[in-house]
Amino acid sequence: MSGRSLNLVGLVLVGVIGLAFMFLTPRLAELDTVLDLTVYMIMAILALSLALIWGYGGILCFGQSAFFGLGAYTYAIAMFNIGESTLPVILAVILPAAFAALLGYFMFYGRISDVYLGVITLTVTLILFNSVNSTAGPEFHIGTARLGGFNGIPGIPPLNLPFNKSAVIDLEGMFYLATGALLLTYFGLRLLLASQFGRIIVGIRENERRAELLGYDPRAYKLVTFTIGGALAGFAGCLFANWGNFVSPTIFGLAQSAQIIIWVIVGGRGTLIGPVIGCIGIQWLSAALGANQPSGGADVWSKIFANAPLILGIILIAFVLLVPKGLVPTAADIVEFFLGRRRRRREQRGFEPQQAE
């Protein structure tokens, strides 16, 4: 099987499984499971935003949570002021994208090196965390929306169908929306990466100087990639604010930023499905560990297993040391190894004599 047809099989598989999951889950699962799954889908969109800019664009952004949080806050603030969700959703995509474009402009056109780029993006999200964190007083408000400092903004009005304020989207509707949006994001990014633009950003990741000497301006391509990543993260933030009807500054925090990177590392850079799997798997694991809270007198092992950050830390270190490419690329290597071995064996038996190279 050639790489191209394998690719096609993968795409069809993702589409079929995704659609089946989307339409069957609300029929088969309890409502609280559907609610949990909804947030996994939303976070997976966030994972895809970093999969694009880091995995394909080679831009190590340590502060993807900045755009996620901006999307969430923009939606919340706009919703309190406008009351109908069409414009707030658009703003929650455009504002983070514009912020990413501005930040990206200074970083890429200022020729900031990769390491500093990571530091700057992390700093930006922590600045946002601190700024929003210190807006507790009643004097901090935008229109009718109070920012609420560390306590965040509760009771955010839910999404409605476009231009129809009374058609509020219910919990099940949110699941369809989040899953549908995830599938659209996935296939949209696949299209983008198969395009001329996608080939060039991968080329720039592979060898920026060479791309430049061929006549491509890496700064412009990186800026566009970064902006698309910002827009996607903002959109995920908008859905997130909606899902819990609540947003607080922890959305900008270190834990949130680190998590997105862990999803991509575990799932595998340079793939899209990997970070989605990594994101859903790790969230599921965190939830499972969190539910496992020890009651009084539990032995030391159950206490350790109930410590989600500890377990996640061990998993991350294990991945970095043992599976540095991440789940999906490693699985692909293994499949290729066995396919290659079968092919070689067939050749040895004298079938399909191939030219020596």
Report how far residue 149's alpha carbon sits from residue 132's, in angstroms, rounded to the nearest whole number: 6
* Smallest separation, CB 319 to other proteins (Å): 21
* Smallest separation, CB 58 to other proteins (Å): 11
- Segment lying near other proteins (by CB under 8 A), choices 63-71, 200-208, 227-235, 237-245: 200-208
Nearer to other proteins, 19 or 334 (CB): 334
* Smallest separation, CB 193 to other proteins (Å): 13
Other beta carbons within 10 angstroms of residue 204's beta carbon come to 24
Query: At what angle are helices 114-133 and 254-267 packed, to 10 degrees?
Result: 140
Nearer to other proteins, 20 or 335 (CB): 335
Both structure tokens of 127: 């600045």
- Segment lying near other proteins (by CB under 8 A), choices 36-44, 197-205, 235-243, 317-325: 197-205
Indicate left, alpha or beta for 46 from its phi (over 0: left) and psi (-120 to 50: alpha).
Answer: alpha
Report how far residue 130's alpha carbon sits from residue 124's, in angstroms, rounded to the nearest whole number: 10
* Smallest separation, CB 268 to other proteins (Å): 14
Establish if 214 lies at the interface with other proteins (CB under 8 A).
Answer: yes
Applying CB under 8 A, which of residues 24, 164, 210, 343 lies at the interface with other proteins?
210
Nearer to other proteins, 210 or 346 (CB): 210
In this structure, is the dihedral angle defined by the CA atoms of residues 59, 333, 273 and 324, taken in order, positive or negative?
Answer: negative
Q: Calculate the CA 350 to chain-centre distance.
A: 48
* Residue 36 near residue 279 (C-beta atoms within 8 A): no
Return the SS3 of 356: coil
Establish if 10 lies at the interface with other proteins (CB under 8 A).
Answer: no
Site string for other proteins, 126-155 (x = CB under 8 A): ------------------------------
> If we measure between CA atoms, which residue out of 46, 75, 88, 111 comes closest to residue 283?
46
Nearer to other proteins, 85 or 225 (CB): 225
Tell the burial category of 48 from Cβ atoms under 10 Å away from its Cβ (0-12, 13-18, 19+): buried
Site string for other proteins, 215-254 (x = CB under 8 A): xxxx------------------------------------
Both structure tokens of 235: 């959109």
Site string for other proteins, 318-357 (x = CB under 8 A): -------------------------------------x-x
* Smallest separation, CB 266 to other proteins (Å): 21
Other beta carbons within 10 angstroms of residue 50's beta carbon come to 29
Site string for other proteins, 301-320 (x = CB under 8 A): --------------------
Applying CB under 8 A, which of residues 11, 94, 145, 202 lies at the interface with other proteins?
202
| Side chain identity, residue 63 | G
* Smallest separation, CB 219 to other proteins (Å): 9
Applying CB under 8 A, which of residues 173, 188, 203, 294 lies at the interface with other proteins?
203
Nearer to other proteins, 270 or 281 (CB): 270
Establish if 105 lies at the interface with other proteins (CB under 8 A).
Answer: no
Establish if 3 lies at the interface with other proteins (CB under 8 A).
Answer: yes
* Residue 99 near residue 226 (C-beta atoms within 8 A): no
The DSSP secondary structure of 85-130, one letter per residue, reads SHHHHHHHHHHHHHHHHHHHHHHHHTT--HHHHHHHHHHHHHHHHH
Nearer to other proteins, 321 or 356 (CB): 356
* Smallest separation, CB 323 to other proteins (Å): 19
* Smallest separation, CB 20 to other proteins (Å): 33
Tokens 């900008």 map to which residue?
Answer: 252
* Residue 128 near residue 67 (C-beta atoms within 8 A): no
Both structure tokens of 328: 């999906």
* Residue 136 near residue 146 (C-beta atoms within 8 A): no
Binding site for other proteins (CB under 8 A): 3, 196, 199-200, 202-203, 206-207, 209-218, 355, 357
